[in-house]
C-alpha cells in the first residue's frame, strides 16, 4: 500500500541530545513537509522540500535541520538548540500542483525529559 | 503573512444537530483551500478541497463547504452530527509559493 511512514510513533530523549525523526513515502511525491503540532496552535511549518537536494525553512525552523537526499525520504533532526522540543511532529507529502492535497503520516510524539 | 483563521477553538453540538465550523483566509487572491480531520494521536485525513471548479464542495462523511470570495470564507458544515464526528478539524490554505498553511484547529464535541 502507498503511504507515508513515520517512525517511531513515540520517542523519548534526554535534554541536550539531538534526535532524528524518520519520514518515508512511497507515493512518488515531489514535495514533503514537516509540521509541529502543539495544543491550541494548530500545525506550524518547520521545513519543506519541493525537490530532491533542496529545502526551505518554514515558520519555526530554528533548532531543526533536514535533508532530502532521496525523493522518498525527508528526515528531521531536532537539535539541542530547540528550546522546547516536546511536541507531536507530522510529516506530509503531496504531488506537484497547487490544488493537490497533502497526505500525512501518523505522527511521532517526541518527549524530552 | 498570508494565513487562515478558524473562529472558535471548541464547538459543541448535540447529536443530530447542524455542524458549522468557520474558516476565513487572508488574501485578495483566492487560494486553494482544504479541510482536514484529525482523530487523537493520528495524522490528518482530507475531508474536502476547493480548487475553483465549484463553490460548493462535497466531501467525505457527509461534510461540505462553500467558498465565498466576497467573505473570504470556506466554512465547513454537516446537516446532522454523529458521535463519530467528534475530532479536531483543520482548515488549510495553499498559495502560489506552494507550501500549505493550517489554521489553529477547532475541536468538535458531539453530545448524546
Give me the pLDDT at residue B1, please: 55
Chain A residues whose CB is inside 8 A of the B98 CB are 31, 50, 98
Give the Cα separation of A10 and A30 in Å (integer).
Answer: 27
**Mind listing the pLDDT tens digit for each residue in A77-98?**
999 989 899 999 999 998 877 6
Q: Residue B20's pLDDT is what?
A: 98
- Give the angle B51-B52-B55 at the CA atoms, nearest 5°: 110
- Which chain B residues have a beta carbon less than 8 Å from that of A48? 99
Rounded to whole angstroms, the Cα distance separating B62 from A61 reads 37
Determine, for residues B32 and A48 on separate chains, whether the beta-carbon distance falls below 8 Å: no
Cβ-in-10-Å burial (0-12, 13-18, 19+) of A52 comes to middle
Q: How confident is the model at residue B95 (pLDDT cuts 50, 70, 90)?
A: confident
**pLDDT tier, B62 (very low <50, low <70, confident <90, very high otherwise):** very high
Mean pLDDT confidence for A44-56: 94
Question: Is residue B43 within 8 angstroms of chain A, CB to CB?
Answer: yes
* Residue B2: pLDDT over 90: no
What are residue B106's DSSP bridge partners?
Answer: B89
Q: Which has more pLDDT, A2 or A109?
A: A109
Task: Give the total residue count for chain B.
Answer: 112
Residue tagged 475531508 (cell numbers): B47
The span from the CA of A14 to the CA of A10, in Å, is: 14
State the average pLDDT over residues A38-57.
91
* Model confidence band, residue B10 (pLDDT cutoffs 50, 70, 90): very high
Band (pLDDT 50/70/90 cuts) for residue B51 is: confident
Q: What's residue B32's pLDDT?
A: 87
> What pLDDT sits at residue B31?
77
The region that residue B72 occupies, defined by phi over 0 for left and psi between -120 and 50 for alpha, beta otherwise, is: left
Q: Is A45 on the interface with B (CB under 8 A)?
A: yes
The set of residues, in sequence order, having a beta carbon less than 8 Å from that of A8 and lying 6+ positions away, is A22, A108
Neighbours of B83 (CB within 10 A): 9
Q: State the average pLDDT over residues A42-59.
A: 93
3-state secondary structure of B60: helix
Amino acid at each position: 500500500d502507498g503511504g507515508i511512514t513515520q517512525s517511531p510513533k513515540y520517542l523519548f530523549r534526554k535534554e541536550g541530545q539531538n534526535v532524528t525523526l524518520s519520514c518515508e513515502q512511497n507515493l512518488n511525491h515531489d514535495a514533503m513537509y514537516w509540521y509541529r503540532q502543539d495544543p491550541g496552535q494548530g500545525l506550524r511549518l518547520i521545513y519543506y522540500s519541493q525537490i530532491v537536494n533542496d529545502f526551505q525553512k518554514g515558520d519555526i525552523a530554528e533548532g531543526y535541520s533536514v535533508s532530502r537526499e532521496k525523493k522518498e525520504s525527508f528526515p528531521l533532526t531536532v537539535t539541542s538548540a530547540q528550546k522546547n522540543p516536546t511536541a507531536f511532529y507530522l510529516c506530509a507529502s503531496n504531488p506537484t500542483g497547487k490544488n493537490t492535497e497533502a497526505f500525512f503520516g501518523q505522527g511521532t510524539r517526541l518527549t524530552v525529559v | 503573512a498570508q494565513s487562515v483563521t478558524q473562529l472558535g477553538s471548541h464547538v459543541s453540538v448535540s447529536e443530530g444537530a447542524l455542524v458549522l465550523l468557520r474558516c476565513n483566509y487572508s488574501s485578495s487572491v483566492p487560494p486553494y483551500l482544504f479541510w482536514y480531520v484529525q482523530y487523537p494521536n493520528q495524522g490528518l485525513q482530507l475531508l474536502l478541497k476547493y480548487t475553483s471548479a465549484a463553490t460548493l464542495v462535497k466531501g467525505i462523511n457527509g461534510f461540505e463547504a462553500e467558498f465565498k470570495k466576497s467573505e473570504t470564507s470556506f466554512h465547513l458544515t454537516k446537516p446532522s452530527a454523529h458521535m463519530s464526528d467528534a475530532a479536531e478539524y483543520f482548515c488549510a490554505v495553499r498559495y502560489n509559493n506552494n507550501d500549505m498553511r493550517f489554521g489553529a484547529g477547532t475541536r468538535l464535541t458531539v453530545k448524546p
